[in-house]
Amino acid sequence: MNFLIALLAIILLEAYSELGFVQRDNWLRRWKKSLSALGLGRQRVLGLAVFVAVPVILLQLLLVSLAQHHLGFVSFFLELLILLYALGRGNMDAQIALFTSDLKSDELQAAFHNVGVVDTSYREGRLETAEGIKEQIFAALPYRMFERTFVVVFWFFFFGAPAALAYRLLALHGDLKLDASLDGSLDSSLKSSLHSSDDERLDSRRESRAVKWLWLMEWLPARLLSLTLGLVGNFSQAAGATRRLLFSRSIGTSTFLREAVFGALDQSQASDALTPQLTSDVVSLLGRAMTTWLVIIAVLVILA
């Protein structure tokens, strides 16, 4: 049933491009504020654990209760709604078109802003130069597509709606949109990130417990996706990049996927090759990889 729910969710996502009618995070903002009011906001590990665990546990208890009362039909739609909620935010097609337009006009800072609005991978890496900005734009695109669907569907298929919800809660915990004190301040954070050192950014990222847990949940799906990218692209180059970085603990998921995409597309340098056409190639490559995994999951379901 998980495969059917996942397939239906992907169809709805493709049909509507964005799922704002389901993905309302006001309750999560209130939940985060409540934890801060209780003093848990200052306790990073405990506060984060409660922030994620309580909604996930409540969902699991509800699903168990529905199963005990033989309400499979209700459970089906509840899990579908949870999966739709756990998918990535925003209209991906519109976002890609927006920063592709920026690239055509060489508006790098605008492109960086437009990617940064929907993705936090810009916190990694080198941003002092135009080449650094281009590299992060390129890294943000495959990561954005990965966290939007692939990793969510992966955890949902193997562990159900609670696992998919746990991933999205971790992702949203560090989202600037959930921090009221940072609303409307992305431009200022962009400027500060452009002038801060690599060590300061990486230290800040390491200090984020949510990012560490998120990295752990992304580790296996990202490696599996990189192998699939090789199957639908340049296998030897993609496999080489994957093998070199497979067990690296010092790079983020976006950097890992960027290298895998470089290999699959047989691109040597993002800064030299970053064009609207390359953007289209990345989208097409990841789309083929996602389709491949849907076929693999369908085969597993048939064999089971």
Torsion over CA: 9, 15, 17, 20 (sign): negative
Tell me what pLDDT residue 90 has.
81
Tell me what pLDDT residue 153 has.
94
Q: Rounded to the nearest 10 degrees, how much is the dihedral formed by the CA atoms of 229, 300, 64, 38?
A: -10
- Does 117 or 39 have the greater pLDDT score? 39
Using alpha carbons only, what angle is made at residue 215 by residues 29 and 28, rounded to the nearest 5 degrees? Answer: 10
Say if residue 246's pLDDT is above 60: yes
Closest C-alpha among 283, 206, 219 to residue 248: 219
Averaged pLDDT of the chain: 78
Tell me what pLDDT residue 130 has.
56
Percentage of the chain surpassing pLDDT 90?
30
The residues near 31 (Cβ < 8 Å, ≥ 6 apart) are 51, 55
CA–CA gap between residue 198 and residue 38 (Å, rounded) = 35
Q: What is the mean pLDDT of residues 225-243?
A: 85
The residues near 231 (Cβ < 8 Å, ≥ 6 apart) are 289, 292
Closest C-alpha among 183, 198, 185, 178 to residue 252: 198
Residues in the chain: 304
Closest C-alpha among 87, 81, 263, 59 to residue 167: 87
CA–CA gap between residue 101 and residue 213 (Å, rounded) = 34
Say if residue 176's pLDDT is above 50: no
Instruction: State which amino acid sits at residue 150.
Output: F
Tell me what pLDDT residue 206 has.
36
Instruction: Report which listed range, 135-139, 198-202, 206-210, 244-248, is most confident.
Output: 244-248
Tell me what pLDDT residue 18 has.
83
Q: What is the mean pLDDT of residues 106-133?
A: 53
Say if residue 166's pLDDT is above 90: yes
